[in-house]
DNA sequence: CCGCCGCCCTGCTTGC
DNA sequence: TGCAAGCAGGGCGGCG
């Protein structure tokens, strides 16, 4: 499931491939995944647009268009953005295809149909409800301490709340908490400043390391080239039920917290 | 504002 | 062996 490092990898891959290309036509096979403002036709509006940039915000891939509009893609769990020349057989769950003037195509495919491609207008504050970028300069240890003050919610649930910190999903929340030696269920407000600083460091380190390794391919994630990531080979807890903890040797457990599977070590996460 | 819950959807796993 | 039920999960809207 694509989280910040996977989406960053996808965005970087797309940037080298599609910036500068002009959209000639758009095929929408599953209407509900292609979202546009009221009165705006998704396909007709995109036709003729030129791609001027590819960015990431939280877990969203943002294609910047020459008109000032943006095409914002949420991949959710199983969404993929794939570039090709249309020569090979298309991904069987392709819902939207952008056909460029030079014959290349950008396909949005998603088995579970949870992902969305959303066309937003110039200056539209589509990300107003999204929280701070964890790898941006705004996310300081002191700010993190302030964010957690008085919050009763379990720290792991807080990390997953996109309105607070944008881009952290289940894999990296579990990994960062393990690295910081913090129990996932700890109420946010009861963490010491020292522990919060440790968690801040762990979160930034885990995300950067995962980007270096081009993300984690846990289920079927692949980047814009169809390549798998490498972080799944260095996971400490995620998906490792029963395996010995790398730090203390106790078997990794799986519990459910906020309706999400949570992997952690009872031995060394306090 | 905050926390909690159900829904969306399909493929895989589990159980009879 | 075959089939149905259960489960997983990110974001969003609704509720208290």
Do A147 and A116 fall into the same domain? no
Q: Give how many domains chain A has, as a whole number.
A: 2
Let me know if residue A126 belongs to a domain.
no
Query: Is residue A81 in a domain?
Result: yes
The mean of the pLDDT values for chain A is: 91
The reply to whether A133 falls in a domain is no
Of A43, A22, A28, A46, nearest to A96 by C-alpha is A28
Structural domain contains residue A127: no
Is there a single domain that holds both residue A29 and residue A101? yes
Contact status, residue A96 vs residue A105, Cβ threshold 8 Å: no
Decide if A255 is inside a domain. Answer: yes
Give the integer Cα–Cα distance in Å for A82 and A79: 10
Q: How far apart are CA A24 and CA A100, in angstroms?
A: 5
A113 touches strand B (CB under 7 A): yes
- Judge whether residue A230 has pLDDT over 90: no
Residue of A11 and A123 predicted with greater confidence: A11
Highest mean pLDDT among A88-92, A122-126, A225-229 belongs to: A122-126
Active site residue A197: no
In a domain, A270, yes or no: no
pLDDT of A191 strictly over 70: yes
- Whether residues A20 and A91 fall in one domain: yes
* pLDDT, position A241: 87
Domain encompassing residue A82: 4-120
Tell me, yes or no, whether A99 and A163 share the same domain.
no
Catalytic residue among A56, A57, A59, A164: A59
Q: Are strands A34-35 and A116-120 parallel, antiparallel or unpaired?
A: parallel
Q: Are residues A225 and A186 in the same domain?
A: yes
Q: Is residue A29 part of a domain?
A: yes
Integer Cα distance of A191 and A174 in angstroms: 16
Answer whether A53's CB lies under 8 Å from A21's CB: no
Q: Tokens 């690295």: give the residue.
A: A179
Distance from C-alpha of A218 to C-alpha of A241, rounded to nearest angstrom: 14
**Residue A89: what pLDDT?**
64
Give pLDDT tens digits for A16-35: 999 999 999 999 999 999 99
Q: Are residues A105 and A181 in the same domain?
A: no
A260 given a catalytic annotation: yes
Q: Are residues A90 and A154 in the same domain?
A: no
**Nearest nucleotide to A258 by CA–C1' distance?**
B4
In this prediction, residues A225-235 reach a mean pLDDT of 78
Between CA A157 and C1' B5 the distance (Å) reads 14
Q: Answer for A1: CB within 7 Å of strand C.
A: yes
């Amino acid at each position: 499931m694509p989280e910040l490092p996977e989406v960053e990898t996808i965005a970087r891959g797309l940037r080298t491939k599609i910036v500068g290309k002009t959209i000639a036509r758009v095929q929408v096979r599953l209407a509900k995944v292609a979202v546009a403002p009221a009165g705006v036709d998704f396909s007709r509006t995109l036709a003729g647009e030129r791609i001027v940039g590819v960015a990431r915000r939280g877990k969203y891939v943002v294609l910047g268009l020459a008109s000032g509009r943006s095409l914002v893609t949420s991949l959710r769990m199983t969404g993929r953005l794939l570039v090709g020349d249309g020569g090979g057989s298309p991904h069987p769950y392709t819902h939207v295809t952008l056909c460029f003037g030079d014959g290349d195509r950008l396909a949005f495919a998603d088995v579970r149909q949870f992902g969305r491609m959303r066309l937003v207008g110039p200056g539209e504050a589509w990300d107003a409800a999204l929280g701070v970028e964890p790898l941006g300069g705004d996310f300081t240890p002191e700010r993190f301490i302030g964010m957690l003050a008085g919050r009763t919610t379990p720290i792991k649930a807080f990390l997953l709340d996109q309105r607070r910190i944008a881009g952290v999903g289940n894999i990296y929340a579990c990994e960062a908490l393990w690295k910081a030696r913090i129990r996932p269920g700890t109420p946010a407000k009861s963490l010491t400043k020292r522990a919060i600083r440790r968690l801040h460091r762990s979160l930034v380190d885990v995300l950067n390391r995962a980007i270096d390794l081009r993300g984690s391919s846990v289920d079927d994630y692949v980047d814009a080239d169809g390549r798998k990531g490498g972080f799944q080979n260095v996971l400490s807890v995620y998906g490792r039920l029963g395996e010995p903890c790398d730090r203390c040797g106790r078997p990794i457990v799986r519990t459910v917290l906020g309706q999400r599977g949570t992997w952690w070590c009872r031995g060394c996460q306090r």
